[in-house]
Every structure is written in C-alpha cells, then in structure tokens.
Amino acid sequence: MSRYRGPCFKKIRRLGDLPGLTKKSPRDLRDQPGSGKKSQYRIRLEEKQKLRFHYGLTERQLLKYVRIAGKAKGPTGQVLLQLLEMRLDNILFRLGMAPTIPGARQLVNHRHILVNGRIVDIPSYRCKPRDIITAKDERKSKVLIQNSLDSSPPRELPNHLTLDPVQYQGLVNQIIDSKWIGLKINELLVVEYYSRQA
C-alpha cells in the first residue's frame, strides 16, 4: 500500500490532532454522529493509524519498525516511538525547518539537507546523538528553511534537539525522552495490535 495522499482533514476528524500531517486544523474535531461504542479492535486500529499518518509511513514501513523495536532492549512501545522520532524527516519538522513531516520529506528528497556535512536524500535516515543537520550551502535551500522558520510560531524545542536559526543548523543532543514525543498516543495499543496480527 502506498503513502496516503488524500484529504488530511478526513484523517484528522477521525483520528484527532496529527501535527505532523498538516499545519491546518479543522474547526470541528468531534466524532462523527453515530460512531457509538468502539470495540477494542477499533481502538487499537485507530492508535496504529494515528501513528502511521502522523509520521507518514506505509503499513509495511510501520511493521518493519515494530519488528526492529521488538528485538531491541527495553519496552517495545517506547523503542518504537524513539525509532520514529529519530528519523531525519521528523527531526527537521521538530526543529521547525519544515512546516510538516511531508514537507520535511520533500526537503530531504530534493537534496537540500546535509547531515554531518554530507548530503542525505533518504527521509527515513536514522539520526544519532551528535549528528549535525544543516541546510545545503545554496540560496534556495536556505530560503526554504527560513520561510518555514518564519511561518511557524515559535514552539518549545524538545531537549534532545538544539537549533541555531542563524546558521540553519540543528544538533541532535541525545536519544529522545518519551515525555517529548510530539503525539498523544498509547504506543502499547499499537504493539498489541501487531502482536495480535501475528
């Protein structure tokens, strides 16, 4: 299944606020009439879909991340969120260098971003502590990032990231702490969803 390119509001109305998907917010975030009582399966599925649409992943990509998290040390749900948060496209979004995660993905695909002085054109590139993320030394790259920094309201930066807007540079200080995850989600339900599929 390919990446979702349909209407964003449709997903936001069903799943709730997804800041990585779009900057816009609909006026009415209530559930559709007649939604009634939700089954346990539906609750788990909605949490999984929320995670998938926020980070802009395909079903196959999310399943791959769940398997990697399952083999790692520590709670599977927390490891899964850390893997997703340390993706290059998400870090650009969290730094404010891109308005949304799809916007960050486009910046990376169009080769506007350097990691440790080298061009990286893979949005799913996994950043590590002490990685330095900068704009390519071209006017067009810097203008795109400056527009994003100017248009987005200043928000509190997670403690695992540092931004130098003058140099168009971000620094990954450490692996993200679970309290700084940018999405309200119950990751245990996502892990449970996939464990029941197996």
What tens-digit pLDDT sequence spans the chain (198 residues)?
456 666 666 677 777 767 666 666 655 444 444 456 888 898 899 899 888 888 889 999 999 999 999 999 989 999 999 999 999 999 999 898 998 888 999 999 999 999 999 999 999 999 999 999 999 988 898 898 998 888 877 677 888 899 988 888 999 998 887 777 767 888 888 888 888 876
Instruction: Tell me the C-alpha distance between 89 and 178, whole Å.
Output: 18
Instruction: Tell me the C-alpha distance between 120 and 89, whole Å.
Output: 11
Structure tokens that stand for 182 in this block? 């940018």
Find the angle CA(86)-CA(91)-CA(94) to the nearest 5 degrees: 125
Q: Quick one: which of 182, 10, 184, 28 has its CA closest to 100?
A: 182
pTM, two decimals, is 0.82
Domain 87-174 matching CATH 3.10.290.10: the answer reads yes
Task: Find out whether 140 and 168 touch, Cβ atoms under 8 Å.
Answer: no
Classified as helix, coil or strand, 115 is: strand
Third-level CATH fold of 8-84+183-197: Ribosomal Protein S4 Delta 41; Chain A, domain 1 (1.10.1050)
Instruction: Tell me the C-alpha distance between 48 and 196, whole Å.
Output: 13
Classified as helix, coil or strand, 145 is: helix
Task: Find out whether 92 and 98 touch, Cβ atoms under 8 Å.
Answer: yes
* Spans of all domains in the chain: 8-84+183-197, 87-174
